[in-house]
């Protein structure tokens, strides 16, 4: 089977099949139905969709040029761009990203004393635990970021060390 024959035979069916998968997973993501199931599927198979899309364009290049000559190609392209621009312009605004990451970032700015109730401990117990683990902490009023900087470690490592399971494991050793 030649490459040309393969493109002619499978370009459009592959495009249609992967487009259907992309549509179903996209709708599921839009309505927040099992996002863990559909997120990776949607991203990877939509990327894979580019290959048969290129094959489809190659196969239908002359008809596409005919659309361009009649100027009927440009209105749909312009409309597609027009509806995409507002999404691109507002993408960086508002709350974004994983809330867990935002929470951790906020927690790294808090002091040991402020975090003690969250970790079911007293400020002094956390202070002593961190000092035993080798972290450079002088006061319960030091922030996690301050402790991390002084100890030359990531702030998330200090937060992890403060967790009850980590404290309990350290006392058993």
Q: For the segment 64-89, what is each residue's pLDDT rounded down to a tens digit?
A: 999 999 999 999 999 999 999 998 88
List of residues 6+ apart from 170 with CB closer than 8 A: 129, 132, 133
Any idea of the CA torsion for 120, 125, 129, 135, to the nearest 10 degrees? Answer: 100
Residue 135's closest CA among 143, 96, 85, 78? 143
Q: What's the rounded Cα separation, in Å, for the pair 136 and 122?
A: 18
pLDDT score of 170: 63
Strand partners, 111: 143
Neighbours of 129 (CB within 10 A): 20
CB 140 within 8 A of CB 126: yes
List of residues 6+ apart from 151 with CB closer than 8 A: 134, 135, 136, 137, 158
133 lies in the same domain as 72? no
105 lies in the same domain as 168? yes
Backbone angles phi, psi at 137, to 5 degrees: -130, 130
Report the range of poorest mean pLDDT among 30-39, 90-99, 126-135.
90-99
Report the range of poorest mean pLDDT among 27-36, 49-58, 163-172.
163-172
| Model pLDDT for residues 128-162, shown as the tens digit of each residue | 999 999 999 999 999 999 999 999 999 999 999 99
Whether 96 shows a pLDDT value over 80: the answer reads no
80 lies in the same domain as 12? yes
Band of residue 61 on the pLDDT scale cut at 50, 70, 90: very high
Whether 118 shows a pLDDT value over 80: the answer reads yes
pLDDT score of 92: 67
CB 149 within 8 A of CB 104: no
Domain count for the chain: 2
Mean of pLDDT values over 5-25: 87
66 lies in the same domain as 13? yes
User: Coil, strand, or helix at residue 111?
Assistant: strand
Band of residue 91 on the pLDDT scale cut at 50, 70, 90: confident
pTM of the predicted protein model: 0.48
* Domain stop point among 69, 90, 111: 90
- Furthest-apart CA pair in the chain: how many Å? 78
Q: What's the rounded Cα separation, in Å, for the pair 161 and 156?
A: 9
Q: What's the rounded Cα separation, in Å, for the pair 37 and 85?
A: 28
65 lies in the same domain as 114? no
Structural domain range at position 153: 99-172
| Model pLDDT for residues 119-128, shown as the tens digit of each residue | 999 999 999 9
pLDDT score of 14: 86
User: Coil, strand, or helix at residue 141?
Assistant: coil
* Domain stop point among 90, 119, 149: 90
């Amino acid at each position: 089977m030649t490459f040309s024959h393969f493109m002619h035979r499978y370009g459009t069916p592959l495009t249609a099949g992967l487009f259907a998968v992309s549509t179903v997973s996209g709708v599921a993501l839009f309505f927040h139905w099992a996002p863990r199931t559909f997120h990776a599927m949607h991203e990877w198979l939509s990327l894979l969709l580019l290959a048969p899309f290129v094959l489809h364009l190659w196969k239908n290049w002359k008809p596409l040029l005919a659309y361009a000559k009649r100027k009927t190609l440009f209105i749909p392209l312009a409309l597609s761009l027009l509806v995409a621009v507002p999404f691109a312009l507002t993408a960086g605004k508002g709350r974004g990203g994983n809330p867990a990451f935002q929470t951790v970032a906020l927690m790294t700015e808090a002091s040991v004393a402020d975090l003690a109730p969250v970790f079911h401990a007293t400020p002094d117990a956390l202070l002593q635990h961190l000092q035993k683990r080798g972290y450079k902490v002088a006061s319960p009023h030091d922030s996690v970021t301050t402790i991390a900087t002084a100890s030359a470690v990531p702030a998330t490592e200090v937060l992890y060390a403060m967790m009850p399971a980590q404290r309990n494991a350290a006392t058993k050793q």
